[in-house]
Chains A and B, each alone.
Chain A
Amino acid sequence: AQSVTQPDIHITVSEGASLELRCNYSYGATPYLFWYVQSPGQGLQLLLKYFSGDTLVQGIKGFEAEFKRSQSSFNLRKPSVHWSDAAEYFCAVGADNDMRFGAGTRLTVKP
């Protein structure tokens, strides 16, 4: 079965700085890849997804992610973070009729 690792439990960045959240997966082929965001007191919302094709995927709220097959990674990026981006971010991997979520990365944004 596939698995997903988010190495960073908590990241703090200053408002306006760039952001990269890491996600690594384990699976024999190319799975479906997702990033979700959970704002405080809310459910998870899809930011972006990768199924095939262009390895750089654009999502909502100015986020993008790049699929790198050689590194089994799907890192999430944003060029300039806003205070409203403070949330928890989950990477998810879908394959073999199953979906697995990472443990999440909590993002704190400093003014």
Chain B
Amino acid sequence: EAQVTQNPRYLITVTGKKLTVTCSQNMNHEYMSWYRQDPGLGLRQIYYSMNVEVTDKGDVPEGYKVSRKEKRNFPLILESPSPNQTSLYFCASSLYRGGAEAFFGQGTRLTVV
């Protein structure tokens, strides 16, 4: 079954404690991305990756890092989380950027206290 798997689904952490949210896809997609969803703002792109070792900033990259060492995995790293990063995060993958259907993970609800 085609899927994008994110872990964990829920996470509560304290300010400044580094965390990683994992994302893995089994569709051999070249394009992967991370979004955050906040009420009234819809989905905003954090980072994206066009292929292995190719990553770029989206609209709201501050405070986040990503890496793409393998095609299937695209982890999101918060080196020093702050309360304004409390949000619902989604990983997505697609064949290419812009014109292809995006497949989404189930989301990670992050609370930073």
Interface residues, chain A, with chain B CB atoms under 8 Å away? 6, 9, 32, 34, 36, 41-46, 49, 51, 90, 92, 94-99, 101-104
Contact = CB atoms under 8 A, between A and B. Distances in A.
Contacts, number: 56
B42 A101 contact: yes
Interface SS majority for chain B: loop
Contact of A103 (B41, B92, B96, B102): B41
A3 to B, nearest CB: 11
21 contacts: A6-B42, A34-B102, A36-B102, A36-B104, A41-B106, A41-B107, A42-B107, A43-B4, A43-B104, A43-B105, A44-B43, A49-B101, A90-B43, A94-B100, A95-B99, A98-B97, A98-B98, A99-B45, A99-B97, A103-B42, A104-B43
Interface in B28-54: 35, 40-43, 45
Interface of B: 4, 35, 40-43, 45, 90, 92, 96-102, 104-107
Q: Which 10 A-B pairs have the closest CB atoms?
A: A43-B104, A103-B42, A101-B43, A94-B98, A32-B99, A44-B104, A97-B98, A94-B99, A43-B106, A101-B42
